[in-house]
Amino acid sequence: MARRLNLEDSGFDAAFDALLTMKREVSQDVADVVAEIIADVQARGDAALIDYTKKFDRLDLGQAGLAVTAGEIDAAMGKVDAETLDALKLAHDRIQSHHARQMPKDDFYEDALGVGLGSRWTAIEAVGLYVPGGLASYPSSVLMNAVPAQVAGVERIVMAVPCPDGELNPLVLVAAKLAGVSEIYRIGGAQAVAALAFGTETIAPVAKIVGPGNAYVAAAKKQVFGTVGIDMIAGPSEVLVLADENNNADWIAADLLAQAEHDAAAQSILITDRAEFADAVEAAVENQLKTLSRAGIAGASWRDYGATIIVPGFADAMPLVNRLAPEHLELAVDDPDALLPLVRNAGAIFIGRHTPEVIGDYVGGSNHVLPTARSARFSSGLSVLDYVKRSSVLRLDADQLAKLGPAAVALAKAEGLDAHARSVAIRMNR
């Protein structure tokens, strides 16, 4: 049973603070091992990849080949049933058309002085996409990471996916093909991250690495940051459901469990204005757990990290929502539009009783890579913006330099930077 909090109880503040600061991840210190692997891949290239893959994935890349071939990808297409393939295509197309709207526009203009200013956006040239192997090898995740890169115009989208015992999920290959992935390598762990960052004989280096992974992958991404860009380091998934008593308790329970089944460290929280409705949802959770394939994981998550919070009214809930800054927020109330403007911190918002968060995981069109662990206070979900960068552009002629130069010289002198002052003044003395 999840913990119960009530905003009107005297102990609420302490209990809510405890919920906010709860550590849900045991951080493994693998930095030293990872540093060794990275140095070895830098020194020995492909040979190191072959050795680590034999050791960690029990796969002989000398036989299997480092790169997945076009023939293998075509064969994977044949292994996927028509319904799943259609669903993947629908997801791809919806993600693509939504993300196309995110493409930033160049902006060039002249100001009142005649100074030319501009912002020029260009795609990153090459991106590495890490895809976990085995059970956590999700085709939806391939789409969510690769399609925004495809939309941005990234020329090389390079996938690394470990194949434990040689196994590779055909759905992952199909998703990669749909999303325009240009190269796929059968490598994982810190060695894959090192290969993407520094390159080997076979793999040309990329400029940025994205995608989820285990503690070794996360540590490796942190260590190569600077040499390449990285995306956020994702924590366990979370949902916060605001629901009134007019909901079907079973629907809400299903949403809480959908999040909980991801990971024993996932977190599902219900905020409602009726204790009786919270009771009903809790009962529905227990009931549904009986028939769930991942009941062990989902049950542990709900027991250890789940919560129901009772508030007098939903307006009272909004400060709690913003402090929790959830990855996913469902507004399953009569008038969600009254609450929406009050949401300040949330990765993704799901409006109304017929928008379960799971739609956003797959086919809504928005991205499912979202800020966890309260980082929605300062960061956003994955988007096309993560695959482009902006150069600012400035253009003056002698006239504009004459107008702006004296102020630049004054500030340079005030900062004690004489060469700065000279670089402007020398152009004004003619």
What pairs with residue 260 in β-bridges? none
**Least distance from a second copy to the Cβ atom of residue 76, Å:** 13
Measured from the CB atom, the residue of 62 and 352 that comes closer to a second copy is: 352
By the rule CB under 8 A, 42 interacts with a second copy: no
| Residues within window 113-132 making contact with a second copy, judged by CB under 8 A | 115-117, 119-120, 122, 124-125
Active site residue 83: no
d(CA 159, CA 342): 39
Query: Taking the chain, what is the end-to-end CA distance rounded to the nearest angstrom?
Result: 80
| C-alpha to C-alpha distance for 101 and 177, rounded to whole angstroms | 22
CB of 71 to a second copy, least distance (A): 23
Question: What DSSP line would sit under 126-172, residue for residue?
Answer: EEEEE---GGG--HHHHHHHHHHHHHHT-SEEEEE---GGG---HHH
Residues in 66-95 that interact with a second copy by CB under 8 A: 83-84, 86-88, 90-91, 94
Contact status: 304 vs a second copy (CB under 8 A): no
279 annotated ligand binder = no
95 contact partners, CB below 8 Å, separation of at least 6: 143, 144, 147, 148, 365, 367
Interaction of residue 344 with a second copy, rule CB under 8 A: yes
Contact between 228 and a second copy by CB under 8 A: the answer reads yes
CB closer to a second copy, 275 vs 393: 393
Among 36, 60, 106, 107, binds a second copy (CB under 8 A): 107
Q: By CB under 8 A, tell whether 135 contacts a second copy.
A: yes
Q: Which is nearer to a second copy, 192 or 209 (CB)?
A: 209
For the chain, helix (H) and strand (E) counts, in that order, are 18, 14
Tell me whether residue 69 or residue 287 sits nearer to a second copy (CB atom): 287
Compare residues 111 and 165 and give the one whose CB is closer to a second copy. 111
Would you say 34 and 216 are in contact if contact means Cβ atoms under 8 Å apart?
Answer: yes
Q: Phi and psi at residue 213, in whole multiples of 5°?
A: -175, 175
Helix-helix angle 46-57:31-44, to 10 degrees: 140
Question: Phi-psi bin for 153: left (phi > 0), alpha (psi -120 to 50), beta?
Answer: left
Closer residue to a second copy, CB minimum distance, 47 or 115: 115
Query: Binding a second copy by CB under 8 A: which of 15, 35, 215, 351?
Result: 351
Which residue type does 270 have? L
Residues in region 192-221 near a second copy by CB under 8 A: 207-208
Strand order in the sheet with 126-130: 183-185, 156-160, 126-130, 208-210, 229-230
**Residue 63, marked binder:** no
327 is catalytic: yes
Q: What is the Cα–Cα distance from 148 to 402, expressed in whole angstroms?
A: 44
Catalytic residue among 183, 327, 330, 357: 327
The reply to whether 334 sits in an annotated binding site is no
Residue count, binding to a second copy (CB under 8 A)? 120
Least Å from the CB of residue 227 to a second copy: 8
- Contacting residue, 76, 160, 173, 349, with a second copy by CB under 8 A: 349
Shortest Cβ 61–a second copy spacing (Å): 27
Residue positions forming the annotated binding site for NAD(+): 130, 191, 214
Residue positions forming the annotated binding site for substrate: 237, 259, 262, 328, 361, 415, 420
Active-site residue set: 327-328
